[in-house]
Structure 1
Amino acid sequence: MARILIIDDDEPIRELLCAAVERMGHEARAAACLNDAFRLARDTDFDVLYLDVRLPDGDGIAAMPRLCQEPDPPEVIIITGEGDPDGAELATRSGAWDYIEKPCSLERMTLPLSRALQYRAEKRRAAPMALRREAIIGASPGIGACLDQVARAASGPADVLVVGETGTGKELFARAIHDNTPGARGPFVTVDCAALPDTLVESLLFGHVRGAFTGAEQARAGLVKQADGGTLFLDEVGELPLPVQAKFLRVLQERAFRPVGATAEERSRFRLVAATNRDLDALTARGAFRTDLLYRLKTLVLELPPLRRRREDLGPLVLHRLAELGHRHNQGTKGLTPEFLEALGAHSWPGNIRELFNVLETAVIAAQGEPTLFPRHLPVDLRARIAREAVADRRCAAPPVPGAAPGEGFPTWRVYRAQAVADTEQRYFTELLRHSAGDRRTACRLAGLRPARLYQLLGKYGLLGQQ
């Protein structure tokens, strides 16, 4: 028997779906708003959620990450009376199982449920793969979904495209695919497509025979041949020159190539993992990237989330990096104050993990022989940006000034609501620590949160040092 949660402010829809779910032999619960849904999802592990988009207290699609925080998150079926193409695309990209527009038949609403439950049952019966992920830090839902994709990719020889912003760890995930492929003993060969010189790109990729061009005094194997039996990692594949893209397409199709100046083809049995921080679809539309090559690369796509969408991983990433830096600088792992972690949490990290790690190294160097990191050890430009943003936020959230002209000094609803939620959460976690006498295990149990999530929230509100 599966557990199903119906989240819709339309009472007849809730009652209809609850009755249909129970006739199918499953347990049905219902919520008319997101707050009720959050409470129910915190106390019960649901298998499937029916989720309306427009709810009295928020947007259903925007709430999906919070509703799907568990290690085995529920499948989400979007139901909406105001469907639109953009909403359907956003729901799909957010991981929704299906997108249903109301009104529709009961069969249209229940068939996706049967398929989603079948999928979950088959997924649970599949033998889990023990992944090697030494360098991949984090336990957020986004990283969990990426690791699931790594397991799928490693189970077969399919080509993989890893996409994500600069600094999200694309090469780490490419190496994880290589390391977890059964029987993988071949090399991991990296090609930085952005650094390939135009005049030598074919020679570097495919090799050359002696005398193929001026200076070719001996034959040399190219990077494609060097990857034989292993993985060829094309970093920043969007920078690959157009003339080479046509030749590389045949290499992917046949796993055969011809070195520069050679009369015969050679073969190389490699798995391709390509990575990019660029929009290849947009490049293709402009004629800067071949459509047929893009189709070939997108056999399996792994999309890495930016750091701002996996904030719960910030604490573990900081601790991991500080341990590395302590070993590298031969000075032991430095401690950190709650204010230090809170300052890191206030930044949006456009450079993602690479920026975070560079900032932490700067802080460790600034601290020199001091054992504890304070916000003062952070780069001054970062502290200045954080201070500026904090003052701007407070001004936006400030109450109306007495005597101010109409329409001046009044916060927007979004800013006011965000400040109210933050104030409420800070009071809650302060009382939680008092009620649990500072014991983190007790606090996790009372709050219904995983340790990593509790750690992140305590850091956000400067409560890590309270006992």
Structure 2
Amino acid sequence: MTQPRVLIVDDDAMLRDALQTAVEQMGCTADGAGTLKEGLAMAEAGDYDVVVLDVRMPDGSGLDCLGRFQECPSNPEVIILTGVGDPDGAELAIRSGAWSYIAKPPTLNKIRLPLQRAIEHHRGKSKLLPLGLKRSGIIGDSRAVRRCLDLAAQAAVTDASVLITGETGTGKELFARAIHDNSARADEPFVVVDCAAMPEQLVESQLFGYERGAFTGADRRFEGLVRQAHRGTLFLDEIGELPLAVQKSFLRVLQDGCYRPVGGVKEVRSEFRLVVATNRDLDAMVEQGRFRQDLLFRVRTMTLNLPRLKNRHGDIALLCRHFLARQCRLNGLPAKRISPDYLDALESYDWPGNVRELLHAVERSLAAALNDPVLVPAHLPTNIRVSLARASVPNREPSVEKPGAAGDEPFPSLKEVRLQAVAEVESRYLRDLLAEAGGDIQQACALSGLSRARLYALLKKYDLP
């Protein structure tokens, strides 16, 4: 096996040389770069196991480039190195996929263990993934999706409980099914429970079943969804909606594998693999007394955080073509083409409803196109066209120029105007959000639906306190 290769990206030449020496003493090959541009070029050309990346670089922030290093051909693990104590930056780095976050000065003892483990993980990662991973309907080839598929594959080879988080429409059920389809339980049942769709008074009887005559209308015995998942996978969608009383009963099922149906006298056993999903902040719900902490610990053995569609770079066009081809096939329509400006419009929209909203937009476009052979922006749903139109108009006071006078600045491009408008709207929204939440980050996350890491990233982007 070849020697592990490590790239150290730091503008401090003395520190960089010292780290290279220390890494070489560990039996690795070490290279150094003094700028992000140089480091990215080396990472693109070289086969590195690990990149040790400083945050404050002369040509930008290491955190902003973390994803670009991860996307390099060898998909290296990234260890973030910084001289500035920043807990929010540490959280953002870890949530973005960094292997670890180390404060300067990075003594040999401090960096040796994370570096060794990062190398071992990188070299053993491919062995964890099952050959011919079944995607179970998951479309996308962005780095964000590939990382989620890697985590799903790792989860599939264990029986650990998995918590899948993400906004509505990001594909939580598809990833849950992929975990099941690639596991040793693939030939057993995959039982879906939509906790948000069940009336509170019926949740217990639906989960645990009931005996005949247990309550009015119980004219027959019902086995229950937990029992139906025996030897297979039980998927609890929107687990945050599970009533507290049922959470306690369900926790006992996870601990002992036993439960008693409503109206029953004998206990029933069920052995299943648990996957749960939510778009809620379960930690905040625990603090508010709306979700049991002990249950959260049990369901969060492994966590899979699905990205927003807007952050899946390159996947929008891929998904659009897939959905369009499928809808044409299902409706017996001739294949339609997609205009470049239609794709530009899709890329410019924010997609609050994520993949599900994109699917509906393509369906609506197909219906609006009728016999037109090519989809164009005018075929998009009205709400999307309105949003794009508003974003394209600069939010500034009209100015009056003297007749015949030319403006001092060149006329802006549409892209510049759109970016400026989005920045102004986001900045204003964040100020209003912080004011409404009284500066409380947890409350701001609950109000906005943003994750803590995403909110911190936006606050940093707009230099807000």
So what's the TM-score if we normalise by structure 1?
0.81
Partner of 1:81: 83
Residue type at the aligned position of 2:373: P
Counterpart of 1:328 in structure 2 is: 330
Q: CA deviation at 1:26?
A: 3.5
Q: Secondary structure at the match of 1:311?
A: coil
TM-fit CA distance, 1:23: 4.2
How many residues were matched structurally? 408
Q: 2: CA distance between counterparts of 1:95 and 1:211?
A: 53
Task: State the one-letter code of the partner of 1:313.
Answer: D
Residue identity in the other structure for 1:356? L
Hey, what's the Cα distance between the residues in 2 that align with 1:165 and 1:333? Answer: 32
Cα-to-partner distance string for 1:158-189 (whole Å, 9 max, x where unaligned): 22111111100000011111111125322221
Q: Is the 8 A contact 2:69 2:78 kept in 1?
A: no
Q: Which moved more, 1:64-73 or 1:232-241?
A: 64-73
SS in 2 for 1:318: helix
Q: Specify which of 316, 319, 325 is matched with residue 317 of structure 1.
A: 319
- Displacement after TM superposition at 1:81 (Å): 0.9
Structure 2 residue aligned with 1:229, among 224, 228, 231? 231
Alignment correspondent of 2:360: 358
Summarize the Cα distance change of 1:12–1:289 in structure 2 as closer, same or farther, 3 Å threshold: same
> 1-side partners of 2:312 and 2:65: how far apart?
14
1:137 to 130, 136, 139: 139
Q: Which range moves more in the overlay, 38-47 or 234-243?
A: 38-47
How is 1:84-163 mapped onto 2 (pairs within 5 angstroms)? 84-125=86-127, 128-163=130-165
8 Å contact 2:47–2:73 — kept in the other structure? no
Q: Describe the SS at the equivalent of 2:200.
A: coil
The whole-number CA distance in structure 1 between the counterparts of 2:12 and 2:335 is 55
1:215–1:25 CA distance, 2 compared to 1 (3 A): closer
CA drift at 1:104: 3.7
Give 1:49's aligned residue: 51
Matching residue of 1:387: 389
Distance 1:390 1:2 in 2: 49
Letter of the structure 2 residue corresponding to residue 303 of structure 1:
N
Aligned letter for 1:209?
Answer: E
Distance change (3 Å), C-alpha of 1:126 and 1:220? closer
Distance 2:188 2:144 in 1: 30
1:265 matched residue in structure 2: 267
Is there any run of 5+ residues in structure 2 with no aligned partner, and where?
A: 421-465
1:12 aligns with 2:14: yes
- Give SS of 2:201's match: coil
Whether the aligned pair in 2 keeps the contact of 1:255 and 1:267 (CA below 8 Å) is: yes
Runs of 4+ in 1 over 4 A off after TM superposition: 124-128, 401-405
Q: Does structure 1 residue 338 correspond to structure 2 residue 366?
A: no
CA distance in 2, matches of 1:100, 1:113: 11
Provide the residue aligned with 2:292 in structure 1.
290
Q: Distance in 2 between matches of 1:172 and 1:72?
A: 27
* Maintained 8 Å contact 1:153/1:177: yes
1:417-428 equivalences in 2 (<5 Å): none
In the TM superposition, what is the alpha-carbon distance from 1:145 to its structure 2 partner?
A: 1.5
Give the counterpart of 1:59 among 48, 61, 74.
Answer: 61
Match of 1:239?
A: 241
Unaligned runs of 5+ in 1: 420-467
> Separation in 1 of the partners of 2:203 and 2:116?
52
Partner of 1:198: 200
CA shift, 1:125, in A, is: 4.9
Determine if the alignment matches structure 1 residue 187 to structure 2 residue 189.
Answer: yes
Please state how far the C-alpha of 1:75 moved relative to its aligned partner.
1.0
1:127 to partner: Cα distance: 6.6
1-side partners of 2:65 and 2:344: how far apart?
A: 24
The alpha carbon displacement at 1:246 in A equals 0.5
Q: Distance in 2 between matches of 1:110 and 1:210?
A: 63
C-alpha distance in 2, partners of 1:124/1:216? 51
SS at match of 2:393: helix
Correspondence for 1:168 among 161, 167, 170: 170
1:97, 1:284 → 2: CA distance?
27
Question: What SS does structure 2 have at the residue aligned with 1:63?
Answer: helix
**What is the SS of the residue equivalent to 2:275?**
strand
Distance of 1:202 and 1:45 partners within structure 2: 54
| Alignment TM-score, normalising by the size of structure 2 | 0.82
Take 1:241 and 1:126, find their aligned partners in 2: how far apart are those partners? 36
- Matching of residue 177 in structure 1 with residue 156 in structure 2: no
Equivalent pair of 1:8/1:55 in contact (CA under 8 Å): yes
**Which residue type is aligned with residue 207 of structure 1?**
G
Cα contact 1:185–1:229 (8 A) shared by 2: no
Q: Aligned pair in 2 of structure 1 residues 25, 206: CA closer, same or farther (>3 Å)?
A: closer
State the SS of the aligned residue for 1:274: strand
Quickly say closer, same or farther: Cα 1:277–1:374, change in 2 above 3 A.
same
CA distance in structure 1 between the partners assigned to 2:128 and 2:154 by the alignment? 11
Per-residue deviation, 1:71:
6.0
Distance 2:151 2:359 in 1: 25
CA distances 1:382-433 after superposition (whole Å, capped 9, x unpaired): 122213223339x79xxxx99999xx99x9xxx89x89xxxxxxxxxxxxxx
Residues of 1 paired with 2:190 and 2:127: CA distance? 32
One-letter identity of the residue aligned with 2:61: D
Is it true that 1:33 corresponds to 2:67 in the alignment?
Answer: no
C-alpha contact 1:325 1:333 (8 A) present in aligned 2: no
Give 1:94's aligned amino acid. S
Q: Which moved more, 1:101-110 or 1:61-70?
A: 101-110
